[in-house]
Amino acid sequence: MSSPNIGFLSTRFAGNDGVSLEAAKWAKILWDHRIVSHWYAGKLDRDPNVSMLVPEAYFYDRDNVWINEQIYGVRQRGTEVTKKIYELAEYLKETIYEFVDRFGIDILIVQNALCIPMHVPLGIALTHYIAETGIPTIAHHHDFYWERSRFAVNAIGDMLAMAFPPSLPAIQHVTINSFAQQDLSWRKGESSVLVPNVLDFEGTPPVADEYSQQLRHEIGLAEDDILILQPTRVVPRKGIEHSISLVAQLRTPKCKLVVSHESGDEGDEYLQALTDLAEQEGVELHFIHTRMGEVRTTDAEGRKTYTLADAYAVADFITYPSLYEGFGNALLEAFFFRKPVLVNRYSIFVADIEPKGFEVIKMDGYLTRDVVDEVQKVLNDAGYREAMVEHNYELCKAFFSYSVLRRKLRALVTNFTGLEEL
């Protein structure tokens, strides 16, 4: 049997969100073994020759936005809403048939579209398509609806039970942490394969070069300033107020807090609250999302833009005080770039990462004097710091490298094809 054609499906494969990044890593591992990947989504930055853009599949599609306004925060939906959901689902199902036929898809890999109901018609379309065709499907679940309070009150309990995720014999479920694996079993009676997020720890991480070193100057930092990086979006669950408090308690004007990402779709109230807090605490706070991009280039004003890798490369310390994470990509990135990191002990860290023996500065929901002193020691003692980051890098080789993903994907694909070359 020849190598199968893989079809990745989601609402979006574009930018630096976790789903897009992890899907790209899966595709890279598959391509290393000459398995071709194709892409279907409502927003795409993939090669048009191997992809199919369906704007109606994007969660910001006008009809889908209207649907979401009618079904969340209420307990009952109108006939018009039900009709619109199924009309859009039927249309999307036909586009999925077209996608599979156009590229000769043998295996579908659905990224998050069958677990988080940001696009209910797409989830229903996928469920109906898989039920009608029996096509082998790997459903990669990053976030379940029951993990998010925004979906707690809704008028689509019947649809959530059917499609988020569905229980179909053609589907192999994949979860990214042990809590999600247990919840899926308990709530849906479905087993799953646990595949953690990974990075290429078998390769060599980029180091600060002449270009990335200019980032400090471009954002107004002096050469001897201590750049403390918060590499996350500006949303409340990231706990950025703890990072501000940390910098304040370090009590040195040389420490500057830099936040790499923007607010996203959750409003600017939190950003304003952080700005006010930093001013009250006397902390120099830089939001640099306007200078960040997916590639190094220049913006409309002729200014250089930098990648997230550039920011990591020139950072002295990483803060990651999240209240909740599905896994924790930024934590792996800190380990990858060999940077010391402060971690708030969110549940997935406690269950799936901490037991591996990683050396980080840990807080339990609040900063203590001991935590601040430990950060100070890491910043001041180069030998201690280097031993810590090298230890973490070696652990990641064993538990969160591409070799781990390669083994997991081999099992998933072999279950469908019998091929063992991967």
Provide the CATH number for the domain around residue 266. Answer: 3.40.50.2000
pLDDT category of residue 419 using cuts at 50, 70 and 90:
low
Greater pLDDT, 396 or 205 = 396
- Do residues 263 and 384 share a domain? yes
In a domain, 383, yes or no: yes
Candidates 399, 393, 396; CA nearest to 338 is 393
Residues 231 and 372 in one domain: yes
Q: Is the predicted pLDDT of residue 378 greater than 90, yes or no? A: yes
pLDDT of residue 85: 98
Q: Which of 45-49, 122-126, 302-306, 324-328 has the lowest mean pLDDT?
A: 324-328
Residue 27: CB partners within 8 Å, gap ≥ 6?
Answer: 6, 8, 37
pLDDT at position 400: 94
- Give residue-wise pLDDT tens across range 202-260: 887 778 888 999 999 999 999 899 999 999 989 898 999 999 999 999 999 999 999 99
Tokens of 128: 């109906």
Task: Provide the pLDDT for residue 421.
Answer: 58
For residue 103, pLDDT over 60 is answered with yes
* Residue 145 sits in the same domain as residue 214: no
Q: Is 124 helix (H, G, I), strand (E, B) or coil?
A: helix
Query: Do 332 and 229 share a structural domain?
Result: yes
Instruction: Tell me the average pLDDT across 114-121.
Output: 97
Is residue 148 a part of any domain in this protein?
Answer: yes
Q: Are 190 and 298 members of one domain?
A: no
108 within a domain of the structure (yes/no) = yes
Predicted local confidence at residue 204, as pLDDT = 78
Judge if 383 and 406 occupy the same domain.
Answer: no
Please check whether residues 251 and 262 belong to one and the same domain.
yes
Is residue 70 domain-shared with residue 162, that is, in the same domain? yes
Q: Assess if residue 205 is contained within a domain.
A: no
Asked whether residue 336 is assigned to any structural domain, the reply reads yes
In a domain, 422, yes or no: no
Query: ∠104-130-22 over CA atoms, to 5°?
Result: 70
Q: In degrees, to the nearest 5, what angle opens at C-alpha 387 toward C-alphas 382 and 392?
A: 125
Is residue 168 situated within a structural domain?
A: yes
What's the domain count of the chain?
2
User: Which helix (H) or strand (E) element contains residue 12?
Assistant: strand 12-13
Same domain, 349 and 325: yes
Answer whether 73's CB lies under 8 Å from 153's CB. yes
Q: What percent of the chain has pLDDT over 90?
A: 80
Q: Are residues 257 and 386 in the same domain?
A: yes
User: Long-range pairs for 392-397 at CB < 8 Å and ≥24 separation?
Assistant: 392/335, 392/338, 392/358, 392/359, 392/360, 393/201, 393/335, 393/336, 393/338, 395/335, 395/356, 395/357, 395/358, 396/199, 396/201, 396/332, 396/335, 396/336, 397/201, 397/202
Which H or E element spans position 256? strand 255-259
Query: For the chain, what is the mean pLDDT?
Result: 93
Question: What residues make up the domain containing 23?
Answer: 6-198+402-417
At residue 336 the predicted structure's pLDDT band, cuts being 50, 70 and 90, is very high
* 155 and 304 fall within a common domain: no
C-alpha angle 373-287-310 in degrees, rounded to nearest 5: 80
Crossing angle (nearest 10°) for helices 240-250 and 369-380? 70
Same domain, 99 and 237: no
Check pLDDT > 80 for residue 266. Answer: no
pLDDT-derived band of residue 1, with 50, 70 and 90 as boundaries? low
Asked if pLDDT for residue 265 goes beyond 70, the answer is no
Q: Is residue 1 part of a domain?
A: no
